[in-house]
């Protein structure tokens, strides 16, 4: 397939969606997109783009596929135990009201997990959790806060009963959990970052980004943290050059900005 076909596809997709495929690893991204093209019986990227232009459902499915919306409550439970028992108490000792960012929040499981932790650790304080994602469909589902029982496998029964309302086969997040979370659409690669965060989570989001894009992103996250703030990444996303960026090692997959 001609390189100019791929380059033109990237340009046109950026105009249409504001997603910059130049920031993603080309081999993995081309493989993922080619899989979709094969399903739809098209052989060139531009033919696939014309299909996206003409079919809203295929375009929506493509964006969902591209933004890898996989999430669950308390994902990697042992890391959330460390977050709850060590990281959050350390942060609360520095500041009574925490400002937290869940970047790439998908359907809301991560920010709602954080909200439950903060309700347990400091129930009298109205903390702020900013939850952002590129995908407006996922954000709409997140705001609803309704989940199938299979999505809640990591939540202990006591916590499930305390913070969810059962309705048939689904569970709805209670208003007190929702009240702490503020959802916004945000493109990590293009949009401005807020600053002054005590804790930032960006987990299992950057897996297909180029090393250059990741490095630039981690430096922006570093700048967005308060001194003493903590950055929490996914279990396959250890930051090898964390010292060069300015971070201190805190716990495995947790990095701290020096005070």
pTM: predicted TM-score of the whole model, two decimal places: 0.82
Residue 67 in this model has a pLDDT that exceeds 80: no
Q: What are the structure tokens assigned to 99, written together?
A: 């400002």
Residue 2 in this model has a pLDDT that exceeds 60: no
Residue 129, pLDDT score: 98
**193-246: per-residue pLDDT in tens?**
999 999 999 998 888 788 899 999 999 999 999 999 999 998 888 899 999 999
Residue 253, pLDDT score: 93
Rounded CA-CA distance 17/69 in Å is 17
Structural domains in the chain, CATH included, are 3-66 (no CATH), 77-256 (3.40.50.150)
Alpha-helix runs per DSSP H in the chain:
3-17, 26-40, 45-54, 56-66, 77-82, 88-94, 109-121, 136-144, 157-163, 175-178, 211-224, 242-245
Residue 72, pLDDT score: 80
Higher pLDDT, 31 or 92: 92
Residue 102, pLDDT score: 97
Place of tokens 């977050």: 83
Beta carbons within 10 angstroms of residue 197's beta carbon: 23
Higher pLDDT, 83 or 38: 83
Per-residue pLDDT band at 111 (split at 50, 70, 90): very high
């Amino acid at each position: 397939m001609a390189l100019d076909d791929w380059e033109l596809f990237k340009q046109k997709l950026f105009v249409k969606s504001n997603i910059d495929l130049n920031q993603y690893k080309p081999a993995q991204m081309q493989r993922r997109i080619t899989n979709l093209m094969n399903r739809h019986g098209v052989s060139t990227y531009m033919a696939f783009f014309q299909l996206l232009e003409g079919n809203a459902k295929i375009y929506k499915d493509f964006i969902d596929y591209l933004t890898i919306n996989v999430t669950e409550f308390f994902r990697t439970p042992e890391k959330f135990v460390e977050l709850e028992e060590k990281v959050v108490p350390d942060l609360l000792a520095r500041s009574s009201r925490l400002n937290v960012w869940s970047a790439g929040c998908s359907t809301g499981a991560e920010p709602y997990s954080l909200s439950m932790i903060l309700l347990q650790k400091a129930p009298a304080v109205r903390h702020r959790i900013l939850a952002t994602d590129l995908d407006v469909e996922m954000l709409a589902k997140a705001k609803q806060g309704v989940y199938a029982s299979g999505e809640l496998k990591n939540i202990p029964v006591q916590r499930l009963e305390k913070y969810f309302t059962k309705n048939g086969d689904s569970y709805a997040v209670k208003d007190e959990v929702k009240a702490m979370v503020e959802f916004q659409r945000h493109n990590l690669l293009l949009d401005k970052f807020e600053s002054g965060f005590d804790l930032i989570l960006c987990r299992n989001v950057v897996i297909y980004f180029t090393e250059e894009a990741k490095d630039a992103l981690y430096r922006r996250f570093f700048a967005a943290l308060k001194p003493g703030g903590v950055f929490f990444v996914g279990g396959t996303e250890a930051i090898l050059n964390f010292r060069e960026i300015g971070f201190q090692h805190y716990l495995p997959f947790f990095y701290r900005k020096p005070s």
